[in-house]
């Protein structure tokens, strides 16, 4: 994240099918951007380090997260997501760019009275601050509102406070407000209209650490973690959406779709989410195959405990594996290429190769509970950074201080529709052309609407 900023080359659209009638099921649309620069599927040389710097920040955060900060309410630490989207808040609506993060649950934006907040950012230039007085629909959460369950306790000075800590030392604190969240709903094939729902979110009054760094500052963060305290859960509780979302990230064209609602096409096979954690989308990985041969690994290597497990994370760019898996994997992948000499670049193992890597390197298959598989091709895991120069995209989690977690990031979940079904506590995927379309169900009418990657309204309009 601290990388030289390669701005928003990937535009995704977050689509939520919605019905405007109060109290009925709906979905919605946001436009999502990605911070790293990928041209024709090729990571530009200088970006290789950037990918890693980004992920390193996330993982430092996550390490501390395991320590579980004893905070309540909106207080769950997170990891920085790669994607951000514009949303509208208030009446009249004001536009904010918030990070989309599947590894956290809090939703907050900077508040107007924030004294110690960056006011400019290399990503957004000028930041936008939430001003309750200029929104007629704004309501401060009161101490006796049931939603105010926060610690430190509510009092006249703090009102209803939230504190969210981050593992890299980043911290945001402020008070809770309720206001209208604006997004787009789909009401026909490729047709959207604006809608809004009242949600409670944090209004930041003080940012510190990484959140107080103008190089990477954004207006706020919206968490899509596996928790019942997310903005998505609030939309669901209001009867506005199902607790299902999906993304389809196109690593070649840099486009894609991010949708809330039930995907009816393509059909996706799922694996259960292992629920032993407040936020992550953890799954049961069973084995890893390289060119059809199963890697020989210790029996307990894939178990899920407080400190280990496998999670699907759209907010990480790469894939992090425990040292023992990493070494077996790299041996197997390069088994047929004893002539290749590896050179280290940042924390990558890189090499020179003439010819088509797709023909000469094996497919890697991850096997999950319920017979769900994840195929990873050479063009996914061999990052080309200059002509004929490639880096092995898998990372040894140990050198990143992240020993036992298996983090499956964008590198292996792009070019697939990935569905997060929090209602059934299942996650699944299927290979898909993310520059094409998907079909989403309107819960109210039962109709299914096509959402095309290159034809989604870019969010909502500012009045
Ligand atoms: C409100 O709570 C904060 C933190 O617990 C405390 O420092 C402050 O003194 C309290 N104020 C009042 C008026 O109780
Ligand atoms: C998007 O799709 C709608 C409905 O099919 C169509 O009316 C509109 O012209 C399309 N927009 C673009 C930019 O292709
Ligand atoms: C935020 O950064 C500014 C400028 O670097 C600094 O003056 C301020 O003390 C920082 N605030 C916090 C809470 O870290
Ligand atoms: C949220 O989840 C917690 C822990 O899983 C549970 O105790 C609580 O009842 C849930 N709340 C709602 C509103 O579903
Ligand atoms: C993916 O879909 C787009 C849009 O329909 C199409 O132009 C492109 O050729 C497709 N790519 C592949 C590899 O099929």
Nearest to 145 by CA among 104, 106, 175: 175
Residue 66 Cα distances to 61, 77, 148, 306, angstroms? 9, 9, 25, 8
Using CB atoms within 10 Å of the CB of residue 9, give its burial: 0 to 12 exposed, 13 to 18 middle, 19+ buried: middle
The response to whether residue 458 sits with its C-beta less than 6 Å from ligand 2 reads no
For residue 122, report the phi and psi dihedrals to the nearest 5 degrees: -70, -25
Residue 237 shares a structural domain with residue 350: no
Query: Which residue is listed with tokens 């500012």?
Result: 462
- In this structure, the strands spanning 220-223 and 107-110 are antiparallel
The response to whether residue 189 sits with its C-beta less than 6 Å from ligand 5 reads no
Ligand nearest to the CA of 437: 5
pLDDT at 166: 57
Residue 189 shares a structural domain with residue 326: no
Residue 38 shares a structural domain with residue 122: yes
262: CA distance to ligand 2 center in Å?
22
In a domain, 280, yes or no: yes
Residue 205 shares a structural domain with residue 57: yes
Residue 59 shares a structural domain with residue 153: yes
Which conformational region is residue 412 in: left (phi greater than 0), alpha (psi within -120 to 50 degrees), or beta? alpha
Residue span of the structural domain in which 170 resides: 9-266+434-452
In a domain, 76, yes or no: yes
pTM of the model: 0.77
Residue 254 shares a structural domain with residue 294: no
DSSP state of 130: B
pLDDT at 458: 40
pLDDT at 282: 92
pLDDT at 315: 65
- Report the nearest-CA residue for atom 14 of ligand 2: 455
Number of domains in the chain: 2
Query: Which of ligand 3's atoms lies nearest the C-alpha of 116?
Result: 11
Residue 18 shares a structural domain with residue 118: yes
In a domain, 130, yes or no: yes
55 is catalytic: no
pLDDT at 43: 38
Ligand nearest to the CA of 143: 1
CATH value at residue 240: 2.40.70.10
Q: Which residues contact 122 (CB under 8 A, 6 or more apart)?
A: 5, 214, 215, 216
The response to whether residue 45 sits with its C-beta less than 6 Å from ligand 1 reads no
Residue 244 shares a structural domain with residue 382: no
Q: What is the number of other CB atoms lying within 10 angstroms of the CB of residue 160?
A: 25
The response to whether residue 143 sits with its C-beta less than 6 Å from ligand 1 reads no
Q: What is the CA radius of gyration of the chain?
A: 21
pLDDT at 123: 65
162: CA distance to ligand 1 center in Å?
14
In a domain, 461, yes or no: no
Q: How far apart are CA 244 and CA 268, in angstroms?
A: 13
In a domain, 58, yes or no: yes
Nearest to 427 by CA among 319, 315, 275: 275
pLDDT at 109: 96
144 is catalytic: no
Query: Which of ligand 5's atoms lies nearest the C-alpha of 437?
Result: 5
Q: How far apart are CA 436 and CA 452, in angstroms?
A: 6
Query: Which of ligand 2's atoms lies nearest the C-alpha of 450?
Result: 5
3: CA distance to ligand 3 center in Å?
20
Residue 213 shares a structural domain with residue 299: no
In a domain, 91, yes or no: yes
- Report the nearest-CA residue for atom 9 of ligand 1: 157
List 313, 410, 421, 442, catalytic entry: 313
Nearest to 170 by CA among 82, 84, 64, 68: 64
Q: How far apart are CA 329 and CA 323, in angstroms?
A: 10
183: CA distance to ligand 2 center in Å?
19
Q: How far apart are CA 209 and CA 25, in angstroms?
A: 39
433: CA distance to ligand 5 center in Å?
6
Residues with a CB atom less than 6 Å from ligand 3: 116, 206, 208, 212
Q: What is the DSSP string of 216-272?
A: T--SEEEE--SSTTSHHHHHHHTTS--SEEEEEE-TTTS-EEEEES-EEES--EEEE
The response to whether residue 151 sits with its C-beta less than 6 Å from ligand 1 reads no
In a domain, 460, yes or no: no
The response to whether residue 155 sits with its C-beta less than 6 Å from ligand 1 reads yes
Q: What is the number of other CB atoms lying within 10 angstroms of the CB of residue 404?
A: 15
In a domain, 428, yes or no: no
* Torsion angle in degrees (nearest 10) through CA of 333, 337, 341, 343: -20
Residue 354 shares a structural domain with residue 394: yes
Q: How far apart are CA 438 and CA 459, in angstroms?
A: 18
Read off the tokens for 87.
């949303």
Q: What is the mean pLDDT of each run of 10 residues along the chain (463 residues)?
A: 21 28 40 38 40 46 23 19 70 87 84 88 82 97 82 74 70 92 78 85 90 81 85 87 84 69 92 85 96 93 87 80 95 96 85 93 98 95 83 83 79 91 95 88 81 56 31
Residue 181 shares a structural domain with residue 53: yes
Residue 293 shares a structural domain with residue 151: no
Cβ-contact 34, 83 below 8 angstroms? yes
């Amino acid at each position: 994240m601290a990388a030289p900023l390669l701005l928003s080359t990937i535009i995704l659209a977050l689509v939520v099918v919605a019905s405007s009638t109060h109290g009925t099921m709906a979905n919605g649309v946001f436009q999502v951007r990605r911070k790293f620069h990928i041209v024709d599927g090729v990571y530009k040389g200088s970006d290789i380090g950037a990918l890693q710097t980004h992920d390193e920040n996330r993982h430092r955060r996550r390490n501390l997260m395991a320590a579980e900060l004893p905070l309540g309410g909106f207080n769950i630490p997170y990891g920085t997501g790669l994607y951000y989207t514009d949303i509208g808040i208030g009446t009249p609506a004001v536009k904010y760019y918030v990070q989309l993060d599947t590894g956290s649950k809090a939703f907050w934006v900077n508040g107007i009275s924030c004294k110690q907040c960056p006011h400019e950012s290399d990503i957004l230039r000028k930041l936008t601050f939430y001003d309750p007085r200029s929104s007629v629909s704004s309501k401060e959460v009161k101490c006796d509102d049931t939603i105010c369950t926060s610690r430190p306790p509510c009092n006249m000075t703090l009102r209803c406070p939230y504190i969210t800590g981050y593992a890299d030392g980043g911290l945001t604190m402020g008070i809770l407000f309720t206001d209208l969240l604006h997004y787009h709903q789909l009401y026909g094939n490729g047709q959207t209209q604006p809608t809004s729902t009242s949600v409670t979110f944090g209004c930041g009054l003080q940012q510190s650490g990484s959140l107080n760094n103008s190089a990477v500052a954004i207006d706020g963060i919206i968490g899509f973690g596996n928790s019942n305290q997310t903005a998505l859960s609030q939309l669901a509780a209001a009867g506005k959406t199902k607790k299902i979302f999906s993304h389809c990230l196109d690593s070649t064209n840099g486009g894609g779709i991010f949708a809330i609602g039930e995907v009816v096409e393509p059909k996706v096979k799922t694996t259960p989410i292992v629920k032993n954690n407040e936020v992550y989308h953890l799954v049961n990985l069973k084995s890893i195959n390289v060119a059809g041969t199963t890697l020989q690994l210790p029996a307990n290597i894939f178990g899920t405990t407080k400190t280990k497990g496998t999670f699907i994370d759209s907010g990480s760019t790469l894939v992090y594996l425990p040292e023992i898996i990493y070494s077996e994997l790299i041996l197997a992948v390069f088994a047929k290429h004893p002539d290749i000499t590896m050179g280290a670049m940042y924390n990558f193992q890189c090499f020179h190769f003439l010819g088509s890597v797709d023909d000469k390197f094996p497919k890697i298959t991850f096997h999950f509970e319920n017979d769900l598989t994840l195929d990873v091709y050479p063009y996914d895991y061999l990052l080309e950074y200059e002509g004929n120069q490639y880096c092995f995209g898998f990372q040894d989690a140990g050198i990143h201080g992240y020993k036992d977690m298996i983090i499956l990031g964008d590198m292996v979940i792009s070019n697939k529709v990935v569905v997060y079904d929090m209602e059934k506590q299942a996650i699944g995927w299927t290979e898909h052309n993310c520059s094409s379309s998907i079909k989403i169900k309107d819960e109210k009418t039962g109709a299914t609407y096509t959402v095309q990657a290159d034809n989604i309204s870019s969010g909502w309009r500012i009045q």
